[in-house]
Structure 1
């Protein structure tokens, strides 16, 4: 199963968009799955259903941080290099979807949505492009990792 397929399947099982991505890449990071899922749990629905940055984008950024990030109070080149990575991932996602903002991709006028998620029914999945968006994020991240091998 490809990472795209894993991420999409994770979403279809009920994980939020950020968790779906992070779980699909869990084998690459130095963190147990439970902790990784808890870390990503706040970022579904564009950050707690605030409809801001798409959870799949946040998930990409979290995995990129765990793989390539820094862990000190950096202020110079090391931080700039990492931020450039994050901006590159965002750019690739924007090229495909026109934005990294959840509500814009979903065509929602509401910014801060109710905190209670909708039930994951067949109708929910039919009206939401989220699974495909998550699949695209997984492909973008997988390609980026292939192009930028870890030390």
Structure 2
């Protein structure tokens, strides 16, 4: 599969999950889990649920950004305290910068000021969610963090 086709697939899959009713964080995490066949259970995916709407509609950090950070954790996170948290911290910080440069902010209420549940809000979140999946894929490719089992 070409790089462009992979990028479009990641974007499309995240967008498809959002359209099906998953929130932004769930959509990004689920898309990468499914597309790259990551060893993440459905039960583990439940952790993404509270991040939608900028942490449960608090309007703070965008759920798509939170979901992307969770994907980085899936790929670089540590499983014990002896392991370094440096790689995932570095990637999370750097991706936050990439996201902020792309969208101009990381805060949900700034990115999407429309009333929750409105057509405008759904449209804006769909665009942010699918675009985030695309920029995450590019970031993972550039940093050579993509899993090799696909």
TM-score per shorter chain, which class? 0.7 to 0.9
Deviations 1:83-118 (A, max 9, x none): 11001111111011111110011136xxxx9xxx63
- Residues 127 and 60 (structure 1), Cα distance of their counterparts in 2 relative to 1, 3 Å cut: closer
Match of 2:56 in 1: 48
Return the alpha-carbon distance in structure 2 between the equivalents of residues 49 and 23 of structure 1. 20
Match of 2:30 in 1: 23
- Residues 6 and 145 (structure 1), Cα distance of their counterparts in 2 relative to 1, 3 Å cut: same
Preserved contact between residue 60 and residue 137 of structure 1 (Cα < 8 Å) = yes
Structure 2 unaligned runs (5+)? Answer: 1-7
- Residues 73 and 127 (structure 1), Cα distance of their counterparts in 2 relative to 1, 3 Å cut: closer
- Residues 127 and 61 (structure 1), Cα distance of their counterparts in 2 relative to 1, 3 Å cut: closer
Q: TM-score scaled by structure 1?
A: 0.80
State the aligned residue count.
136
Q: TM-score scaled by structure 2?
A: 0.81
Return the alpha-carbon distance in structure 2 between the equivalents of residues 79 and 99 of structure 1. 25
Structure 1 unaligned runs (5+)? Answer: 119-123
Calculate the aligned-residue CA RMSD, in Å.
2.1
Deviation of residue 35 (structure 1)? 1.8
Return the alpha-carbon distance in structure 1 between the equivalents of residues 138 and 23 of structure 2. 22
Match of 2:133 among 134, 138, 141: 138
Deviation of residue 127 (structure 1)? 4.3
